[in-house]
């Protein structure tokens, strides 16, 4: 079958690879679409030792189940694979399983014509949701988890909110916040193309953090959807005493948090990674009923153009989300 293969740092190409062979308890999905995630870019840049080339990346995917309990149905794939046997899984947190895997990390991903996943990771789609919107289920689930944890940390819809990063996760966090009753947040983004997209959507207030500074101690909730030293430093400076920082970006592991200020001002730091099955279901529900949508900010391209899409993202001239089509 045809697949886009990550072959070396900042290199990928279309290749013929072996198609998956059905085994008990596993479903093969004939893929229709797969979105390019920031973690795919992280790997393509050579910054993820877990993703070793040659490897088929990609995990934000939808298609038609070819076998298994949902054979013939339109489905979304929950790409996070957990053991479902350990104490963490049985405690309701399979996304934190020590044995967790993600398709496109150490096992073949979804930038291909087919992929195989456990039966439980295949979720039938409602007829009301398009494949293109359903492709956003995985990053939307990340945004849902982010806002759920913010609320658990004490955030309320009356909060003044700043989202750092106007890529797909930051944009989806803004949509989910609004769906949960928050006022449109402020979104910091250095890329003028992304700021223009966000401004045209009209779901938030944008600013360039290189030109505009947020007053120190003036923000109730910060969602760091970038995750680099500079954004961590900005987050801890702008938060009010007793504020909440949700850290969902994974750009680097450099210093930046002002832990002294966080301690003295009782600022809550919450890290979040992935999502629970309930978060994934909530994401699909939002995409089905229209509370969240990819309209006007996604870019659909053929799989054959996948290598060029990675370059366009790298050079900052791409939409917040590029989705590759296998059809």
**Per-residue model confidence as pLDDT tens digits over 247-299:** 999 889 999 999 999 999 999 999 999 999 999 999 999 999 999 999 999 99
DSSP labels for 2-47?
A: EEEEEEETTEEEEEE-PPP---TTEEEEEEEEEEPPHHHHHHHTT-
CATH of the domain at 207: 3.40.50.720
Query: Are 120 and 230 contained in the same domain?
Result: no
Distance CA 213, CA 186 (A): 12
Which helix (H) or strand (E) element contains residue 172?
helix 168-179
- Choose among 29, 39, 35: nearest CA to 1: 29
Query: Are 84 and 200 contained in the same domain?
Result: no
Region 17-41 average pLDDT: 96
Query: Are 149 and 106 contained in the same domain?
Result: no
Q: CA dist 60 to 12, 39, 267, 280, 314, Å? A: 18, 11, 33, 12, 19
Indicate the pTM of the whole model.
0.96
Give me the number of domains the chain comprises: 2
Q: Mind listing the pLDDT tens digit for each residue in 203-214?
A: 999 999 999 999
Q: Mind listing the pLDDT tens digit for each residue in 45-68?
A: 999 999 999 999 999 999 999 999
Asked whether residue 284 is assigned to any structural domain, the reply reads no
Asked whether residue 288 is assigned to any structural domain, the reply reads no
Answer yes or no: are the C-beta atoms of 80 and 134 closer than 8 Å: no
Distance CA 324, CA 110 (A): 10
Query: Are 107 and 205 contained in the same domain?
Result: no
Domain encompassing residue 318: 2-136+294-325
Query: Are 21 and 60 contained in the same domain?
Result: yes
């Amino acid at each position: 079958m045809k697949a886009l293969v990550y072959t070396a740092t900042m290199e990928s190409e279309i290749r013929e690879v072996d198609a998956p062979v059905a085994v008990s308890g596993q479903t093969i999905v004939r893929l229709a679409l797969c979105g390019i995630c920031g973690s795919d870019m992280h790997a393509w840049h050579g910054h993820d030792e877990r993703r070793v080339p040659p490897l088929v990346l990609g995990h934000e995917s939808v298609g038609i189940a070819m076998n298994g309990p949902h054979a013939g149905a339109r489905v979304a794939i929950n790409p996070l694979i957990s053991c479902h046997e350990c104490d963490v899984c049985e405690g309701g947190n399979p996304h934190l399983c020590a044995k967790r895997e993600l398709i496109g990390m150490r096992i073949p991903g979804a930038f291909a014509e087919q992929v195989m996943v456990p039966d439980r990771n295949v979720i039938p789609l409602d007829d009301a949701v398009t494949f293109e919107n359903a492709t956003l289920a995985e990053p939307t689930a990340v945004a849902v988890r982010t806002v759920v944890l913010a609320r658990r940390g004490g955030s309320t819809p009356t909060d003044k909110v700043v989202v750092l990063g106007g890529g797909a996760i930051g944009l989806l966090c803004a949509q989910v916040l609004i769906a949960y009753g928050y006022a449109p947040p402020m979104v910091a983004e250095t890329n003028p193309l992304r700021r223009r997209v966000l401004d045209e959507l009209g779901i938030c207030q944008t600013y360039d953090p290189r030109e505009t500074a947020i007053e120190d101690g003036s923000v109730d909730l910060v969602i760091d959807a970038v995750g680099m030293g500079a954004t961590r430093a900005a987050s801890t400076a702008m938060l009010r005493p007793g504020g909440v920082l949700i850290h969902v970006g994974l750009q680097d592991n450099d210093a930046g948090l002002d832990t002294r200020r966080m301690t003295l001002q009782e600022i809550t730091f919450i890290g979040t990674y992935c999502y629970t099955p309930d978060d994934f279901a909530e994401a699909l529900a939002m995409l089905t009923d229209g509370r969240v949508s990819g309209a006007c900010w996604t870019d659909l391209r053929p799989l054959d153009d996948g290598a060029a899409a990675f370059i366009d993202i790298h050079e900052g001239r791409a939409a917040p989300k590029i989705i590759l089509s296998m059809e």
